[in-house]
Structure 1
């Protein structure tokens, strides 16, 4: 559509059609209202113009008319609100079995790491027809992940994770931009999203040796000495991380929170901020010690300890073995 004179980018995701439909409806509604207002101005100016021999008459109000011009716009605006909210919640709620790709934005590049271990810079390969969940953070300032063909834009913030997801519907190469001014070379922070057929994507994945991200996280977990306190066979000085991801956690201040990606991230970097009930704040701070890529690997490893892990781009993940080799059947303490 509009190949020779594009009015908007190509549609290449499942959400693009809904976003375009709402956008076109809003443009049409605003255009019709503008035309109607100008026509009414001209008609009233001609009909009620000042003329000699005609006295002005007081026009009494009409309850029916006032209810009409108040009720009809209310119904239209509420319809727009519900329509927009449905699109928003759909775009902000990744499917449970989405492929996960960790993203680190920095001045002025995009760094991607697949769960299978492949790393990319300024180029992202994904399979067609697969839900892809982007777990993103910034290494320096605020950036914004924007793929016009997918109709998605998500701010990428330092110090926390933000999430966006898409399902590509058409193979090809699509522009990736940073949509938030991030410094002198902001205009050069661009890239490409390469959408491939599943067979081609599997061939691309097998193109080079790479350890799965969760396996890298496991090795880092051991090298940093995390397994000394976070044990799986007996009670350690730290909480048991088996099946900990996405579960409720009782803190020592009485609050109960969900152990999502941001909680895991915060607990690794600044563990004393949220201390699990029944444990002492003895864990060392790792902020400034590990890189964003290493932090992503640790989070991926902890998530892989769940009995029902998230999917990856090619297949569903399989749980990575516990660092001490024990069967993964223990519950969070």
Structure 2
């Protein structure tokens, strides 16, 4: 297990290739500083040295050694930057053969992760330290970009196609995920966490998560799901509107739909909105709510209904 290295200009390094990416950057960064100081220093020196003019005789028209020097040295440095950068790029781009594939779906404004066993999470991904993970990603609406600064990796997530992103975490604990492509009103709230655990912790979490919650009271379960399923990114728990309507006092009242009809917000309405949200849309709000079909059990749906009921 590697340690978490601090970096002068970047967040801590938390993946196997983070150090390689930083090394390429710092090489180019300090090389640029060196030549900036050299060139600007020469300009300042000549301005000062010949501020009253220079009346010496005509000098040589050219110098072959000097011309070769200022041609060959930059050429070698540029080739070195290319080869080093290309090698690092190939390392970052190609996942190991033993990587675990996890499917990722980006949607306004959340990330959904599906594990090989069918388990789904929203805005939270669990991974094992020092084990490679390959994300197979797509989007249901617009272009998003999956970005983990501590891993030094970023990849666009495009509707209608798959892109891949891999990492091998070297540090335990949560790592922040951002969307790095502006995708609408809730862009800044399209956040997720990658929770890096030991194998024992991961196995225990997977076993516990696979169990259906049959003990938590329904309103409390709904409140937890409201956070874990990122409902808060589009809905407030008071009467104020966000991307979608506020939930306070909405249960038991009619809402006007975009097709000109009205609907009563009851248990059936909420269930339908969770499973087929774009069948109808409340007038004045965009049809961007993702479907939770296959992501919620019947009891979890009941929990969300009871939670919304409790917001009086």
- 2:10 corresponds to which of 8, 11, 36: 8
- 8 Å CA contact 2:18–2:152 kept in 1: the answer is yes
Distance 1:113 1:51 in 2: 73
| CA-CA distance at 1:22 after TM superposition | 1.0
Distance 1:59 1:164 in 2: 57
- 2:46 corresponds to which of 41, 44, 51: 44
- 8 Å CA contact 1:104–1:292 kept in 2: the answer is no
Aligned length: 212
Segments of 5+ residues of structure 1 without an aligned counterpart are: 211-290, 295-333
| CA-CA distance at 1:2 after TM superposition | 8.4
| CA-CA distance at 1:6 after TM superposition | 6.3
Equivalence for 1:24:
26
Relative to structure 1, the CA distance from residue 67 to residue 143 in structure 2 (aligned partners, 3 Å threshold; closer, same or farther) is same
Residue 170 of structure 2 aligns to a residue whose secondary structure is coil
Equivalence for 2:36:
34
Equivalence for 2:287:
none
Distance 2:69 2:154 in 1: 38
Equivalence for 1:139:
140
Distance 1:34 1:44 in 2: 15
| CA-CA distance at 1:56 after TM superposition | 5.1
Superposed, which structure 2 residues align to 1:38-117 within 5 Å? 38-51=40-53, 54-55=55-56, 57-117=58-118
- 8 Å CA contact 2:109–2:186 kept in 1: the answer is yes
- 8 Å CA contact 2:11–2:150 kept in 1: the answer is yes
Equivalence for 1:299:
none
Distance 2:107 2:17 in 1: 27
Superposed, which structure 2 residues align to 1:178-189 within 5 Å? 178-189=179-190
- 8 Å CA contact 1:129–1:167 kept in 2: the answer is yes
| CA-CA distance at 1:205 after TM superposition | 1.2
Equivalence for 1:201:
202
Superposed, which structure 2 residues align to 1:167-182 within 5 Å? 167-182=168-183
Equivalence for 1:190:
191
1:161 is aligned to 2:162: yes
Residue 195 of structure 1 aligns to a residue whose secondary structure is strand
TM-score in terms of structure 2 length: 0.64
Distance 1:51 1:161 in 2: 64
Q: Which has the higher contact order (CA 8 A, sep 6+)?
A: 1
Distance 1:66 1:135 in 2: 50
Residue 210 of structure 2 aligns to a residue whose secondary structure is coil
Relative to structure 1, the CA distance from residue 49 to residue 76 in structure 2 (aligned partners, 3 Å threshold; closer, same or farther) is same
Relative to structure 1, the CA distance from residue 35 to residue 193 in structure 2 (aligned partners, 3 Å threshold; closer, same or farther) is same
Distance 1:189 1:39 in 2: 46
Residue 68 of structure 1 aligns to a residue whose secondary structure is helix
